Structure 1
Amino acid sequence: MSSPTPPRLSAAIDRATGGTRLRRLRQSDWVRRLVRESDVTPNDLIWPIFVREGDGDPEPVASMPGVFRRSVRGCAEAASEAYDLGIPVVALFPFTGPGQRDERGSQALDPDNLVCRAVRAIKAAVPDIGVLCDVALDPYTSHGHDGLLHDGRILNDETVEILCQQALVQAEAGCDILGPSDMMDGRIACIRSALDGAGFRDRMIMSYAAKYASAFYGPFRDAVGSTGALKGDKRTYQMDMGNTDEALREARQDILEGADMIMVKPGMPYLDILTRLVDEFAVPTFAYQTSGEYSLIMAAAQNGWIDGERAMMESLRSFKRAGAAGILSYFAPSAAALLR
C-alpha cells in the first residue's frame, strides 16, 4: 500500500491548480464517457466497397487485409450488413481489368457498367441505405488517370464534360450522392447543372475538395486495378502536400459551385486541413481514411506491434475530434459492430 501524500505537497498542488484536479474526470470509465467531447457512432461511417465482375466468393485484396472485391450480388449483401449495423451509406468503387479500359474511360458512361449494376442491386435489396458513387475516370482509363490524357497533359474541360455524363449515368441508376474525386477545375458547377437539368435536383454532391497527391493511395490502386495502368503521377491536378491555404480556396470554390458536402483525403495526415475547413465554412466535411492508412494499422496489428482494435477506434475518433461530420473507412463494419 502506498504511503499517503504529504499534506504540505497536497496543499502546494491545490494552490498551483486552484483546487482543480482534472484527473477527477478520468478516474473511471463511466465518467470518461460522460464528459467525452467527441465520439464515433455507426451514423458517422461510410463503408467503401469494391465491386468486380462475376459471381462467387469475395476476392481478398492482398494489400488490404480484411478487404475484398465483391460481386454485384455480394455488394448488395454487404449493403444489407451495413444497414443492420447502422451504417447509413456505402461507397462503390469498381475493379476493372485491362480489357475494360481505354484512353477515354468509355466504361464510365455505360449505364450497365459494374457500378450502375451494383447501385441497382443495392437499392433493390436495401432501399433505405445511401449510396455514394465515385465520379472520376481512373478506374476506366488505360493510362490510370482521372481525366483525358493528351500528349502527357490532362485535359481539364474535356474531362469535365465526360464527368457530367458519368454523374448522370450514376444518378439514373439510383445513386444518392455523387462524389467527384478528379480534382478538375469547375467540375462541381457543371455536374450540378447537369443533374438539375436532368431532373435530379435532390441528388447530393460530396466534393473531394482537398484531395492531395499522396503516397497513401497505393493499396486502393491495387484494389481497383489501376497500379499497373498508371502512367506518370497525378501531381498536376491533385494538391501539393505542403499547401493548406490552397485547400481553403478549393473548398470555397466547390461550395460556391454547389457542393452539398466536402471531403479531405487522405485523412489522418491532413487533420489540420480538416479542422481549417470545418472552422472556415461550417458545411458537412468528411474525411477519407485511405487504403494506406488502413493497411498500416492492419499490418502493424497482424505483426503484434499495436493493439489493432484500439488503434482503429483511436484513428476514427481523431477525425471526429478534428471536426469531421463523418468518415469513409474500410474499418466501418468492424467499428460499427464494436460500437453496437
Structure 2
Amino acid sequence: MTATLPERPAAASSTTPVPEGATVAFRSVAKEYAGHRALTGFDLDLGAGELVALLGPSGCGKTTALRSLAGLEAVTSGTVSIDGRDVVGVPTHRRDVGMVFQAYSLFPHLTVQQNVEFGLRMRRVARAERARRAAEMLDLVGLGDLGTRYAHQVSGGQQQRVALARALVTRPRVLLLDEPLSALDAKVRVQLRDEIRRIQRELSITTLFVTHDQEEALAVADRVAVMRAGGIEQIGAPEELYATPATQFVAEFVGTSNRLRSEVVSGRVRLPGGEVPAVGACADGPVWAYVRPEDVVFAERGLAGTVEQVSFRGATVRSVVRTAGDVLITLDHRADRRRPVGDAVCLAITAQAVAVAAID
C-alpha cells in the first residue's frame, strides 16, 4: 500500500500534556521457553526521556525484552524496574506504559477518534475529557481532521499514527515500540520514523524501540543496543557503534563493511596502500579489518581488480570489485565515478582508522 502522509500541523495544541519520562532498568533478566533461553542475564538502563533501540537479528531476544517490560511476558529471573520500582508481577495496565506494535490492531467498528479514546474509556475518563485529549493527540500526530473516519478509510501510515496516538493519549511514562514501521512502504516508513522521533522528543517520553532495521535504529535512537543470543553485545551512541564496533558480530551486523584479512603490528593495521591505526586495543597478529564502503575509492594505482556489479542508489552508486584471491570489495561513490561492469580498476583505502577482530 503506497500512501502519502499528511502535512503535520505547525504546532501541537498548547494544552497537550507533556509526560515526564521514567527511568527503566533491567537487571540480570532471564527468560526461558521450554528449556530455551530467550534472555540470558539481560542488563539495560534507560534514562528518563531517552530513546533506546534494541537492534538484532530475528530470535536474539529483543521483542522478549520489550514484552518483559510491558508485562506481557513473565521473566524467569531478574528484575525489571520503572522509576526504581520492581514491576515483575505487576499487571500490564498498572505499569504506566504505552505500546505500539507492527500490527495496528485498530477496532474496525470504531472511528479514528473512538479508537484513540478507547484507553481513556477503559479508565472511566469523562466523555468530554476523552474527546479533548484524543483530539489533542490526533493533532500531535497530524491527523486532526480524520477523527470521524473508520480504520479502513485511512492509509497504512495513517493507521499506525492512530495506534501511536492511542498509546500516548493515556499519558504513559514509558513508550514501547515493537517493529512499528516494518509493514509500511519505504517512503512512508521514513516519514513516520521521523515523526515518531519528533513526538518522542516533544513529549520527553522514555522509549524502547525494537527493530531489525539498522538504518532505522541508527537514525532515531539516542543509544542503540545490539543484541545477540539473548544478551547485549554492545550498546552506545549510533556514531560509536558504526565507527568503533567492539566485536566482530557488531562490525558485521551494523552497517556494511568489507572484511579483509590483515595484520596488526604495534597498533597499526597493514592494508593495501599503507598502514592505518587500529580502533581500540588489539594484540599484534592476524586480524580481520573492517573497512566501510565509503572508505574505498577508485585510484590510479593500488589494489587491482575487476568491477563485477554496479548498483544505482540515488545519491550514490555502489560498486563491487573482485580482487586477487576472489575477495569482493564494496565501495560507495558518486555517480560520476561510476565504472562499467568488467572494467579493470585499482582501489585505494582512505580510512583514517579501522575496526579489527582477531582471526580465530
Higher helix content, 1 or 2: 1
User: What TM-score results when the alignment is normalised by the length of structure 2?
Assistant: 0.28
Higher strand content, 1 or 2: 2
User: What TM-score results when the alignment is normalised by the length of structure 1?
Assistant: 0.30
Which protein has the larger Cα radius of gyration, Structure 1 or Structure 2? Answer: 2
